[in-house]
Amino acid sequence: MRRIAAMVYDLLVAVAVGMCAAIVMTVVFTLLYENGVLDKGGIEHVGDVMQQSLLYQTSMQIWVSLWVAGFFVWFWRNGGQTIGMRAWRLRIVSTNEQPMNYGRAILRLFTSLLGLGTLLVLVDFKNKLALQDRLTQTEMIALTKDANHHRNWRGLD
């Protein structure tokens, strides 16, 4: 249940990150269209241009996806906990003595299959490992309140 609660919490944070990234992209494109850097194609309102522009829609999807992915990768790499995992006292640790680097964190992101990889925990009674844990040689552990305190952070062992 802790994993699900942390996932819900992180989903809310990821949506907020995505919204902030979208606002930045919208402001940039609005300035580019209004100042004539990008052609509005004869359409008067910038909002209408953005709704019809494949360039804008594709750029927005890529931009927001990179920021949301970056949120997870950065937190997993730097401390082994996202904000939701910290709130629910969960942490990712390595099972092969190798530190969590950006490559492993990115692999973990893709192999989580937007959270579906975690369903493997329901049938793995012995180890309780999700798909992303198995493929990146990590595991999620529950921390005590004291171990979760920021003064005890020391990277991934």
3-class SS letters over 81-134: CCHHHHHCCEEEEECCCCCCCHHHHHHHHHHCHHHHHHHHHHCCCCCCCCHHHH
* 114 pLDDT higher than 90: no
State pLDDT tens for residues 95-113.
Answer: 998 999 999 999 999 999 9
Classify residue 50 as left (phi > 0), alpha (psi -120 to 50) or beta. alpha
Report the pLDDT averaged over residues 47-57: 91
Where does the pLDDT of residue 1 fall: very low under 50, low under 70, confident under 90, or very high at 90 and above?
confident
Measured CA to CA, the distance from residue 44 to residue 57 in angstroms comes to 18
Rounded to whole angstroms, the Cα distance separating 94 from 139 reads: 6
This prediction has a pTM of: 0.86
Least confident of 45-59, 107-121, 138-152: 138-152
Q: Which two tokens stand for residue 88?
A: 């629910």
Structure-model confidence comparison of residues 153 and 54, the more confident one: 54
Say what the alpha-carbon torsion angle 78, 79, 83, 85 is, to the nearest 10 degrees.
140
pLDDT digits (tens, 9 = 90+) for 56-87: 999 999 999 999 999 999 999 998 999 999 99
Q: Hunting for tokens 């992303």 — which residue is that? A: 132
* Burial class of residue 124, CB neighbours in 10 A (0-12, 13-18, 19+): middle
Q: How far apart are CA 140 and CA 131, in angstroms?
A: 12
Query: For 6-31, what is each residue's pLDDT tens digit?
Result: 999 999 999 999 999 999 999 999 99
pLDDT value at residue 152: 62
